[in-house]
Structure 1
Amino acid sequence: MAVKAATTMDRRTGVALWRQIADRIRQGIAAGEFGEGGRLPPETALAERFGVNRHTVRGAIAALVQEGVLRAEQGRGTFVERRKRLSYPIARRTRFSEGLRDQAQDRRGHLLGETREDADTRVAEALGLQPGAPVLRVETMSEADGRPVSCATSWFDAARFAGMGEAIAETGSVTLAYRRHGVEDYFRQSTTVSARHADVGDLAALKLAPGAIVLVALAVNVDVEGRPIQFSETRFAADRVELAVAE
């Protein structure tokens, strides 16, 4: 079945043609335009439709295969990988492990790095600190059943949460790391969601191909007394996770 997503390539944007084609194929998948079998048209048909050569189409398909969006079967063609996306709930009590409890057997977080820095205006405002106050910048990656699903950059008040990165590394959980710092419970105060192409760091951490889309959630968590304890930017692999906002 032909791709019904937009097929006009813009050669003036500086965005590689193969990446534009990969995005068009993603749009077609999201719109359910490949039928129940999920088989893509031959490379020659796609090349003609998009007005490019087969090599460019092949590059787009290879990137999507690497990412796990498509699968190539020798002698049969290329098919949409029908793995169901995880549904990650965003609610007043948002927890990674609890949110995916019924969807993945093994859920864990990994510390990628921790640095100490001075809070810029945005971070200071979110955490209720003065600009320039010391904060911990913690980079993490979360996976479900061995598959990376999100990576996050979080900021914590360095005075209150000294050693937060080490606690996350040892427990594999932000919630358990909080408990080591006397925070038994916490709540989501706000969440703002947007989308963009994954940057170089996200591509590596989430094992994505160039051109992949990530959902970006900016969030502030507060303790039971309403004091901000965490400002975070979490990037979710859009082909693996959907965000479900609870009322």
Structure 2
Amino acid sequence: MGPEDSQLGMERRSGVALWRQVADRIRHGIGGGTLGDGHKLPPEIWLSEHFGVNRHTVRAAIAALVQEGVLRAEQGRGTFIESRKRLAYPISARTRFSTGMQHQTRDRRGILLGHQQEEASARVAEALALEPGAAVLRLETVSEADGRRVGRATGWFDAVRFPGFEKAYAETGSITLSFARFGVNDYLRRSTLVSARHADTDDLENLKLSPGAIVLVAIAINDDLEGRPIQFAETRFAADLVELTVET
């Protein structure tokens, strides 16, 4: 490792590809205002010398950030920084995807990727106050805002209380509207646990991210107004598109 690698935190034997490390440092530099002029990225040769890597590595990093919507490459002109602000996703007593982003986006919809009835694991059973092995419905969904895929969720529901919930969601594209069909017209967020990690294979495919991208993970339980849990969900948000805000 050269002195420049050490200074920038580049790890050549870390198991994380160099292009991904460069991409992460470009993203952080843009966010911190230390890289670029807020409008255009420095030339490839400058970035290559700055990070102590070859230009092929820089190009791979830039290509990944273009795919993730952080940068925009224009032939013959250079690479520009996309100035779009992250969408603020509010976490509150009544967390709803559609209403939470209604003032930030024009079009919002949910897409059903798949569903399956299965036996509740110990984790799911505890969250939904069911016996282990009880029948639950698992939904795999994606949320879009203005044509961009911003979140991917896995949700579990009591299959006895909500038979055919997947059909309601396929028709409405909304968890809230689907609950309403079963007489649950309002519900409250009991808890949300937030963390961050690298996107897995399914995240990369369904959120259209490049390898090594970061996702914010929100694990949540929703209750009806009588305090009975009705939904246990794990949602992965593209970190370059969404920021989670906690409202009190």
Task: Place the TM-score, normalised by the shorter chain, in its bin.
Answer: over 0.9
> Residue 20 of structure 2 corresponds to which residue in structure 1?
19
Alignment of 1:198-213 (within 5 A): 198-213=199-214
* Correspondence 1:94-243 to 2 at 5 A: 94-243=95-244
Amino acid at match of 2:123: R
Listed as ranges, the gaps of 5+ residues in structure 2 are 1-6
**What is the deviation of 1:48?**
1.7
**C-alpha displacement of 1:137:** 0.9
Range with bigger deviation, 77-86 or 186-195 = 77-86
Residue identity in the other structure for 2:167: E
Does the 8 A contact of 1:91 with 1:245 survive in 2? yes
C-alpha distance in structure 2 between counterparts of 1:141 and 1:104, whole Å: 16
Corresponding residue of 1:40: 41
Taking only aligned residues, the RMSD between alpha carbons, in angstroms, comes to: 1.3
| Greater displacement, 26-35 / 161-170 | 26-35
- Distance across 1 between alignment mates of 2:11 and 2:131: 45
Equivalences, count: 242
- Report sequence identity in percent: 69
Aligned 8 A contact 2:30 2:38 in 1 = no
- Checking the alignment, whether the CA contact within 8 Å between 2:68 and 2:208 is kept in structure 1 is yes
Aligned counterparts of 2:44 and 2:38: Cα–Cα separation in 1: 17
- Matches of 1:240 and 1:195, distance apart in 2: 14
1-side partners of 2:9 and 2:138: how far apart? Answer: 42
Task: Determine if contact 2:30/2:36 at 8 Å carries over to the other structure.
Answer: no
Q: How far apart in 1 are the matches of 2:117 and 2:29?
A: 43
Q: More displaced, 38-47 or 162-171?
A: 38-47
| 1:213-241 deviation digits (Å, cap 9, x = unpaired) | 11110000000100000000011111111
Quick one: distance in 2 between partners of 1:121 and 1:179?
28
| Structure 1 stretch displaced more, 28-37 or 116-125 | 28-37
> What is the CA-CA distance between 1:95 and the residue it aligns to?
0.7
Mean Cα deviation higher: 35-44 or 61-70: 35-44
Equivalent residue letter for 1:227: R
Say which SS state the counterpart of residue 34 (structure 1) adopts: coil
SS at match of 2:66: helix
- TM-score, length basis structure 1: 0.94
Cα displacement (A) at 1:34: 3.2
1:8–1:50 Cα contact (<8 Å) kept: no
Secondary structure at 1:203 match in 2 = helix
| 2:130 partner amino acid | L
TM-score normalised to structure 2 length: 0.94
Work out whether residues 22 and 211 of structure 1, in 8 Å CA contact, stay in contact via their aligned partners in 2.
no
CA distance in 2, matches of 1:186, 1:221: 7
- Tell me by how many angstroms 1:9 deviates: 1.6
In structure 1, the partner of 2:4 is none
